[in-house]
Amino acid sequence: MEDVLEVYKRPYDPARPVVCMDEQPTQLIKETREKIPAVPGRVAREDYVYERNGVAVNFMFTEPLGGWRKVNVRERKTAVDWAHEIKELLDRDYPSAKKVILVCDNLNTHKTASFYEAFEPQEARRLIQRLEIHHTPKHGSWLDIAEIELSVFTRQCLDRRIPDVDTLRTEAKAWYRDRNAKQKSVDWQFTTDKARIKLKRLYPQIKMS
């Protein structure tokens, strides 16, 4: 926990940006009957019956100090999917950064070995050398700022029935471009000093002789 909190204390550095990432599944839902649009004096209506149309995965990336975020939608969240997402982050989103400081939860796919599953060894090593990973602790994924962005994304973009992956991608892109344009950001206030007070029960009790 303190390792992640110390990362959040670092000053803004475009050469070493701090980026948080998280994943979220979304149930795709198709309408079985056409909606009845709103008219003066009557709200829009939709049938309570729907058709499940599979699941997609939202990959959220956010740089809190830069007021930037991105959502990519994939059909799975395997180690290979994660490796390709990180490659895009490094080569397309931050091509000039010397190293990207990545905060993510401790899933078995969020590890450097995933690059070797997706790419040739030389390419895998190149990507690893541009990455510094900090994992949130077990049961401590709330420390990942990307979770906050996912919560906002869920409330603002996923509060409706989305029928397929293509529609979800379109909606996600429109959402994060609008939020980036407004320079919305997360103001993180929880520090190591506060953690040692509020979460004192989680620390080992050292008995002085």
204, part of any domain? no
Residue-level pLDDT at 52? 82
The answer to whether the Cα torsion of 115, 117, 118, 124 is positive or negative is positive
pLDDT digits (tens, 9 = 90+) for 117-148: 999 999 999 999 999 999 999 888 899 999 99
109, part of any domain? yes
- 179 band by pLDDT with thresholds 50, 70 and 90: very high
The CB density around residue 207, as the number of other CB atoms within 10 Å, is: 5
39, part of any domain? no
Strands 18-31 and 100-104: parallel
pLDDT reading at 49 higher than 80: no
40, part of any domain? no
What's the CATH code of the domain at 100?
3.30.420.10
83, part of any domain? yes
Please give the model's pTM, rounded to 2 decimal places.
0.87
Choose among 22, 24, 99, 89: nearest CA to 58. Answer: 24
DSSP 9: T
Q: Range of 139's domain?
A: 2-34+45-199
What residues have CB less than 8 Å from 18, skipping those under 6 apart? 7, 8, 10, 63, 64, 65, 101, 103
Name the domain count of the chain. Answer: 1
9, part of any domain? yes
178, part of any domain? yes
Is 5 in contact with 190 (CB distance < 8 Å)?
A: yes
180, part of any domain? yes
